[in-house]
Structure 1
Amino acid sequence: MKRRSFLKSAAALLPVAGFDPAAFASLPGSDSSTHSQFIGAGQDRLGETHSRGYSSILFKVLPRETSNGLFVIEHMNLVNGGPPLHKHLHQEEYFYLISGEVRFAVGDRRLTLHPGDSILGPRGIPHTFAAVEGKPSRMLISFSPAGKMEEFLRDTAIPNPPVQDAAFFRRFEMELLGPSPFAG
């Protein structure tokens, strides 16, 4: 039996054995980075659920599928609220609004995005966002390179997340700069 066929057969048995197949996606010989992956509307890449309290998050492209070059998420049902003002030390963050309205602060700029609008949060530039009250929004966000953003979201998009102070942000190569100018 060829190695690739064996790996596919073994992977099919992982759920039966109680293992998460995603844990083995980056093994040598895995097809995850050489074939395109279809993820349906409203679906997470691994079938998981994540929430930051102000939105549900779907993982669309995982860092391990792009040699850590890209991480893409979708914010669903983004309501009033958003992350604190922060900056990334090593990655750009690109935002594309699908529906609703979202207020952004990027550096000294303040603007409201509408469906089809996008904005780049360059590395080292303070930024944050918040949905316009009463208008649930949907937005794609990509991080390049992916850095530690998947780990950050896994650690914070859970019930009762840890305190997200300056030291916590530093663990994920970000700098916490203060509350969002849209808070309150």
Structure 2
Amino acid sequence: MTSTPRSGSALLVRAGEAKILGLPSGGGFGLLIDSEDTGAALSASRLTLVDGADGALPHRHLRSSEFFYILDGAAEFLLGEGIQSLHKGDFLVIPPGLPHAFGAARGADTDLLIGITPGVQRFDYFRMLQRVAEGQDSPDSLRPVQEQYDVHLLDSEPWQTARKSRPPAD
């Protein structure tokens, strides 16, 4: 794979080439293409989450939109103040500024394709998230890098309430 695509050239990441960052609860991040590979056009990753696991705590992006395609399973999303369930085949685009969070629905594993456009270099952020999940770093270590990675952490009572009292997936 080239680091910066030439006009008219394609970028291809074969199934075995994606770096996988495992999560202690199971599942993991598949690092597909970071912004430096696309001339900042987009970043893409694949995330697998086991039954009920959180994917991202409430946050927003100020400079980019984020999209999600549910490859398999079911997921819950915080969108502003509301909670929305998504299932296999559903596609979601979150515009800049909209508070959101997501996780696997209870009773279901989920497999998501996630993209950010314009691209923001995020692979190092995902590595930080892995260290936090493994207890090697504190969640507070993410606060100083919010601007750099365009991930601005938020509190959300609706999300906390929904994740505590969720029924099994349909």
Give the TM-score taking structure 2 as reference length. 0.76
Structure 2 counterpart of 1:49, from 8, 20, 29 = 20
Q: Count matched residues.
A: 154
Structure 2 counterpart of 1:86, from 54, 59, 67 = 59
Identity within the alignment, %: 20
Runs of 4+ in 1 over 4 A off after TM superposition: none
Query: Structure 1 pair 121/66, CA: closer, same or farther in 2 (3 Å)?
Result: same
| Alpha-carbon shift at residue 52 of structure 1 (Å) | 4.4
SS in 2 for 1:104: strand
Q: Distance between the aligned counterparts of 2:127 and 2:104, measured in 1?
A: 22
- Whose RCO is larger (CA < 8 A, sep 6+)? 2
Structural mapping, 1:120-139, within 5 Å: 120-139=93-112
Q: Distance between the aligned counterparts of 1:109 and 1:50, measured in 2?
A: 30
Query: Structure 1 pair 112/88, CA: closer, same or farther in 2 (3 Å)?
Result: same
Q: Distance between the aligned counterparts of 1:130 and 1:167, measured in 2?
A: 24
> Hey, which of these two has a bigger chunk of strand by percent?
2
Aligned residues: CA RMSD? 2.6
| Alpha-carbon shift at residue 156 of structure 1 (Å) | 1.9
Residues 111-135 of structure 1, C-alpha deviations (whole Å, 9 max, x = no match): 1001111111111110001111121
Structure 2 counterpart of 1:175, from 149, 152, 156 = 152
State whether residues 34 and 120 of structure 2, in contact with CA within 8 Å, keep that contact through their aligned partners in structure 1. no
State whether residues 76 and 138 of structure 1, in contact with CA within 8 Å, keep that contact through their aligned partners in structure 2. yes
Q: Distance between the aligned counterparts of 2:155 and 2:91, measured in 1?
A: 24
In terms of Rg, which structure is larger? Answer: 1
| Alpha-carbon shift at residue 161 of structure 1 (Å) | 4.5
Structure 2 counterpart of 1:65, from 34, 37, 49 = 37
SS in 1 for 2:31: strand
Does residue 140 of structure 1 match 2:140?
no
Q: Distance between the aligned counterparts of 1:56 and 1:98, measured in 2?
A: 14
Does residue 155 of structure 1 match 2:156?
no
Indicate the residue corresponding to 2:46 in structure 1: 74
| Alpha-carbon shift at residue 155 of structure 1 (Å) | 2.2
Residue 39 of structure 1 aligns with an amino acid whose one-letter code is: R
Residues 91-130 of structure 1, C-alpha deviations (whole Å, 9 max, x = no match): 1110110111101111133210011111111111100011
Indicate the residue corresponding to 2:78 in structure 1: 105
Residue 20 of structure 2 aligns with an amino acid whose one-letter code is: T
